[in-house]
Amino acid sequence: MTEKQRIFVERVGAGDTPQAAAKMAGYSSHQQEGWRNLQSPVVQIALRQEMQRRLAVAAPLALKVLVDILESPKAQHRDKVAAAKTVLDRAGFIAPAATKPTNSDDKPLHEASTAELRERAERLARELAERATPVLEGVSVPVSPTDDDQVIDMLR
């Protein structure tokens, strides 16, 4: 990595735009060189390393800010709750996801009652009948849902 690239990486890592960083690094055509540097695998790796280094330095400071909010008697309750959630989240104590409402179709068949199985079979038979379009000698004929007395009830 060249000295100009090193300065470029340092400045982009500090938050400067690629064009400003290229200018500070001494590139004459800083508009183009800023873009070119961002495409360079060597610069990309160095930028990733620089960002990791900066995050490693900033993380304890960020944690201190959150702890200060938690411990401050002057902090608003909502700010303390937000800080507590952030600390717990970053520590790996993630709130459980909300459970979705259960649908009888979500239940495994072996756990369903006879009434649930019968209702499910009837509903599925109606859906199939509504979707079906039988063809008779090349002519499409609309089908109405099957009457209940025509359905074979295998659950009785």
pLDDT tens across 28-54, in order? 887 888 999 999 999 999 999 999 999
pLDDT band at 107 (very low <50, low <70, confident <90, very high): confident
Q: Measured over all CA atoms, what is the biggest interatomic distance in the chain, rounded to whole angstroms?
A: 87
Q: Specify the pLDDT at position 130.
A: 82
Q: What is the pLDDT at residue 110?
A: 86
pLDDT for res 76: 95
Parallel, antiparallel or unpaired: strands 139-140 and 135-136: antiparallel
- Give dist(CA 45, CA 42) in Å, integer: 5
Span between the terminal Cα atoms of the chain, in Å: 79
Q: Is residue 100 over pLDDT 70?
A: no
| Chain-centroid distance, C-alpha 149 | 49
Using CA atoms, how far apart are residues 9 and 61, in angstroms rounded to an integer?
A: 23
pLDDT band for 3, please (50, 70, 90 cuts): very high
d(CA 14, CA 20) in angstroms, rounded, equals 11
Instruction: Show the tokens assigned to 22.
Output: 């290229």
Q: Each residue of 48-91: pLDDT tens digit?
A: 999 999 999 999 999 999 999 999 999 999 999 999 999 998 88
Question: How much is the pLDDT for 94?
Answer: 80
Mean pLDDT of the 80-103 span: 81
pLDDT category at 146 given cuts 50, 70, 90 is: low
pTM for the model stands at 0.50
